[in-house]
Amino acid sequence: MKQLKIIKIGGGIIDDATSLAQFLQLFARVEGPKILVHGGGKGASEMLRALGIAPQLVNGRRITDAATLEIVTMFYAGKTNKAIVADLQRNRVNALGISGVDGNLIRAVKRPVREINYGFVGDLKPSGVNAALLEDFLGLGLTPVICAITHDGQGQLLNTNADTIAATVAIALSKQFAVELHYCFEKNGVLLDVNDDNSVIGTINLASYAELKEAGIIAEGMIPKLDNSFDALSQGVSKVIIGHALKIGDSLKTVLCLN
């Protein structure tokens, strides 16, 4: 089965132009078929504040009202996506910037209101991913660059967690490829001590993950990342790796496994 790497970039790397450029140079050197998934970093929140809109995050996920949706759509699908694609073209990667709306790539369902009303936020299922379209792009030698905007098929845009998009796309393509899913950010991996960048937890399985959450070592934004990772592993993804965006292939990283 052909190998495919799906790499999600986020965190402080997106916010720093120099670091992002260095990451994209490394990404360009990754051999074989590959897909890049990105969020928007802190830039969207900064733009919201500049417009007098207070960003709201709960458990690492953004609450998206109508005004926020307009801003994040412009920022993720416009400014951030096209800047990344332009830089990849400079690095001789024939990248194609795309949202979940384009080509009906990713159809989502608006998250139901339970304890928290997340607003215009999309929840995903692998069946909502147009895997055939991505296979066609890859077959043409294109590298899809997917941003965190999806749709519901009824004309409604939805803000969707980029970690979730990466995992869901990985699951959808795992029937045709041996998929490695990489989460890349500004840390060396999942840390035992957030103040010590070298305290990387080398391996995490489902049992140790539960213990680390209970102890509060894994919390906030890292929880949805790991939830998505284990979901991907349980549904056919070959490997999930969490590590520093500027150290792709480095031995200092966290590898996730089910057992």
CB atoms closer than 10 angstroms to residue 126: 19
Phi-psi region of 60 (alpha: psi -120 to 50; beta: other; left: phi over 0): left
CA distances 160 to 69, 72, 122, 123, 194, Å, are 10, 10, 5, 7, 26
Sheet order of strands, 178-185 included: 95-98, 143-146, 34-38, 3-9, 178-185, 239-244, 254-256, 203-204
CATH class of the structural domain 3-186: alpha beta
pLDDT at 60: 64
pLDDT at 59: 67
Contact between 6 and 162 under an 8 Å Cβ cutoff? The reply is no
CB atoms closer than 10 angstroms to residue 34: 20
The Cα–Cα gap between 100 and 84 comes to 17
- Close Cβ partners of 149 (under 8 Å, ≥ 6 residues apart): 72, 73, 76, 77, 99, 100, 101, 157, 158, 159, 160
- 40 closest CA partner among 160, 170, 143, 120: 160
Is 41 one of the annotated binding-site residues? yes
Amino acid at 72: V
Is 92 one of the annotated binding-site residues? no
Is 236 one of the annotated binding-site residues? no
pLDDT at 11: 74
**CA atoms within a 13 Å half-sphere pointing along the CA-CB vector of 96:** 19
| Reported pTM | 0.95
The Cα–Cα gap between 117 and 39 comes to 21
The Cα–Cα gap between 19 and 12 comes to 9
Is 39 one of the annotated binding-site residues? no
CA distances 35 to 43, 61, 111, 160, Å, are 22, 23, 26, 17
List per-residue pLDDT tens for the chain, 259 residues long: 899 999 999 878 998 999 999 999 999 999 999 999 998 878 888 888 998 888 887 766 789 999 999 999 999 999 999 999 999 999 999 999 999 999 999 999 999 999 899 999 999 999 999 999 999 999 999 999 999 999 999 999 999 999 999 999 999 999 999 999 999 999 999 999 989 999 999 999 999 999 999 999 998 878 888 999 999 999 999 999 999 999 987 878 999 999 9
pLDDT at 111: 96
